[in-house]
Structure 1
């Protein structure tokens, strides 16, 4: 049955495509904004109809895999999952997978209709499984042959962490603590809510334990693109939280981070790093998503400015806040949706030094798609030290019409291999030396 909303969605999508084609005719071919000193094009606000382009979700056929970089190989560690987003490895060598997705929110305008229709087609919106699945590779052949539901009926779970006999889950509405017995295959006990986060918008809540095991860090994204629904609804969002495990007290550790997702510590300096999804509607490469160290008490610009103190004129300004804005460490390209983050020690993969691995989920707000790959950033002396390198690519069809998969969470598995969650492919990839 054809509904009014579907007609509106198709109509707005057509208008959005026409606007995209018009921008192409104007010769907009910005160079990718990558590295510590990126060349970021001047903002060109796209108005009420920003570029809307996402590939249809196709998934992988039997025998298909992403393309591994030279010297590497990839195999499916697990398949048949339901929108797997994040990965956590337990001391008993089991691998936990958070299965969840964005759910529809009230539509506020015609573009919202088009956006939701496009996201459904791209498998980025739907019914959330709200589950954590436990995988076990008992025979060590690189493929999980056992699985069971570790936890169910959660609230869009994402981040996971085990500290002692307590298992923490980053639900969209807060951090919840559950009692855990060593080697348990399932948790059914009632949890204790430790923090309360506002759900909706950027819904993922990553978790990371501090090196000394005393604190938890959580990424909490904004509700909107540039606080267009007002600043009150953004209170307590667009930040990284710190939770003291002993006292139970929590606070905002750093702010102005539109959507900080993956978190990782650089092991030598013990400095916290994150990857951040920047704002939309200013152009293909403006501003870039980024990888940055997270300074305690630091402010990184959102929503007033980006990449340091570059003011976003669409937002009512606060000059005092802008004056304090920190410049991120490393640009990751415009709208790459860099989500996953983990530290990769030198030698884990042949030919790769120390550095960070980043799962780039892929763009929707640019004329030529970007991301849709797993990349590596080398580090020296606690800082990024060179250009990015691909680890996995081939998630996107050459003509950009469909995606085989979209990488999200990344971590090192129990055998030291790199594991990658693929939410469109509904699988976990395992990367090793060839």
Structure 2
């Protein structure tokens, strides 16, 4: 009897093991990334997963003498090296560049996806403690290299976005929007930051961005969701998956909602309107759902967690919200599935010649849950004269080569801005560099 019982237990263990392996088997993309990009992406049927596909590029850093690859007619070189996880960039009026050396605070919870991310993000170069520092870079002689560097601010809490308005520098910590007085040319700030608005703790998405509104009287602050599809309940998502509008007296309102993780924000130079890039949901397979670039207007709702891409229902979300479906705004431009679009800036701030004269530059940090991987590059979205992306045009590669021939990540692009000459600066948080892309061969 004992032998029979052991055989039964062994058989059950094998069956359970096969079942778990089947559940966790990575979903392979059936479409190229480009098919799920543009103004009319191919939105296929979801392939719901119990466990996420895991396909993250190991972070190895840049070998000596190696650089990313710039598009034809452009060249790339290091603007600054030896940084500590540089994620975000901001140019001051005198041309100095601030770089947020930062990382996620310790993660707690997050369900299956959170557990997987805690396990694997270190392998992707994102598991190191946050430096909690802003560093100032200055290219005084104009040779395209920051020969001067100083610690600008310390004592912050996973700082990310930075914005100057009316003599105050606003910094988006993970848990609060803070500010300090700033005078032009300053190389260090020792003043204790004043808290303007407290923000909800990190959750799955910790990075908070801030930019000044067109009228110079308010700021936009982006706050990502704490989860994939509100699996911990909507109460945990209060004032998340939002872009907030904040005034200098501490007043605020929800400007737009249903944005799972809006990070990069910029003002369109043609219209002056707010645009953002958004990381969409996971575990619907390697072909869904597309990250996107879109204009955002007051009162917009983009559907998260109930809907994606303007009304496609996510059947995993309970309770359902059928009344929202017809009001879920469709984004303007898909960037492809799981590319992790983070950085955003427009031509005008960046001047790289006629080919790149009207459009948006997007830093794609790269997927951790798509097979094969997507992102890991900087792309350009051409815009028409009306201030919207050109129809039937796919993203154009600007800076590639962040993965080596074995698929390992030498770097991962994040923030993108123009420097004082119009060259494109790219923060690389795995390579610990800031790259400068300029005209030339």
- TM-score, scaled to structure 2: 0.90
How far apart, in 1, do the equivalents of 2:349 and 2:126 lie?
Answer: 34
Q: Which runs of structure 2 are paired with 1:19-38 in the superposition (5 Å)?
A: 23-24=27-28, 28-32=29-33, 33-38=36-41
**Matching of residues 98-247 of structure 1 within 5 Å:** 98-107=100-109, 112-200=114-202, 201-245=204-248, 247=249
Change (3 A) 1:253 1:16: farther
- Residue of 367, 375, 386 corresponding to 1:371: 375
Please point out which of 40, 44, 52 is paired with 1:41: 44
Pair 1:387-2:394 in alignment: yes
Aligned equivalent of 2:359, options 355, 360, 374: 355
Out of 272, 286, 289, which is 1:287 matched to? 289
Q: CA deviation at 1:76?
A: 0.1
Q: 2:275 aligns with which of 273, 298, 306?
A: 273
CA distance in 2, matches of 1:154, 1:56: 28
Shift in alpha-carbon separation, 1:430–1:297, aligned structure 2, 3 A:
same
- The answer to whether the Cα contact below 8 Å between 2:214 and 2:273 also exists between their aligned partners in 1 is no
Does the CA contact (< 8 Å) of 1:30 and 1:41 recur in 2?
no
Match of 1:10 in 2: none
Go from structure 1 to structure 2 and tell me whether the alpha carbon gap of 1:346 and 1:120 turns closer, same or farther (over 3 Å shift). Answer: closer
Gaps of 5+ in 1: 1-13
Alignment of 1:310-329 (within 5 A): 310-316=312-318, 317-329=320-332
Q: How far does residue 64 in structure 1 lie from its aligned partner after superposition?
A: 0.8
- CA distance in 1: counterparts of 2:284 and 2:191, whole angstroms: 47
Would the aligned equivalents of 1:52 and 1:115 in 2 still touch at CA under 8 Å? no
Moved more, 98-107 or 256-265: 98-107
* Corresponding residue SS for 1:232: helix
Structure 1 position 112, deviation (Å): 4.3
SS in 1 for 2:326: helix
After superposition, the C-alpha distances for 1:39-78 in whole angstroms (9 at most, x for unaligned) are 112101011x110111110111221100000000000000
- In 2 relative to 1, CA 185–16 (structure 1 residues): closer, same or farther, beyond 3 Å? farther
Q: Which residue of 2 aligns with 1:404?
A: 410
Corresponding position: 1:431 with 2:432: no
Distance in 2 between residues matched to 1:178 and 1:17, nearest whole Å: 52
8 Å CA contact 2:259, 2:301 repeated in 1: yes
Q: Structure 1 residues 150, 368: CA separation in 2 closer, same or farther (over 3 Å shift)?
A: same
SS in structure 1 of the partner of residue 197 of structure 2: coil
Report the Cα distance in structure 1 between the residues aligned to 2:257 and 2:23, rounded to whole angstroms.
34
Distance 1:16 1:249 in 2: 50
Write the distance in 2 (CA, Å) between the matches of 1:334 and 1:414: 33
In structure 1, distance between residues paired with 2:350 and 2:200: 41
Q: Secondary structure at the match of 1:321?
A: helix
Structure 2 unaligned blocks of 5 or more: 1-17
> If the length of structure 1 is used for normalisation, what is the TM-score?
0.92
Correspondence 1:17-96 to 2 at 5 A: 23-24=27-28, 28-32=29-33, 33-47=36-50, 49-96=51-98
Distance in 1 separating the partners of 2:266 and 2:27: 38
For 1:204-239, what per-residue CA distance to the aligned partner results, in whole angstroms no more than 9, with x for missing partners?
111111222111111110000010111111000001
Compared CA separation, residues 207 and 431, structure 1 to 2 (3 A): same
If you compute each CA radius of gyration, which structure gives the higher value, 1 or 2? 2
SS of 1:169's equivalent in the other structure is: strand
The answer as to whether partners of 1:104 and 1:126 remain within 8 angstroms in 2 is no
Contact 1:100–1:156 under 8 Å retained in 2: yes
CA–CA separation in structure 1 for the residues paired with 2:182 and 2:113: 45
Stretch deviating more after TM superposition (325-334 or 205-214)? 205-214
Which residue of 300, 303, 321 maps to 1:301?
A: 303
**Which digits, 9 at most, give the CA deviation of each residue in 1:288-314, with x for residues without a partner?**
000011021010000001001111011
Whether contact under 8 Å (2:90, 2:162) holds in the other structure is yes
Whether the aligned pair in 2 keeps the contact of 1:103 and 1:125 (CA below 8 Å) is: no
Aligned residue among 403, 415, 419 for 2:425: 419
Cα gap change, 1:80 to 1:17, in 2 (>3 Å): farther
Render the CA deviation track for 1:26-50: whole Å, top value 9, x for unaligned.
xx52232000011112101011x11
Does the Cα contact within 8 Å between 2:424 and 2:436 map onto a contact in 1?
yes
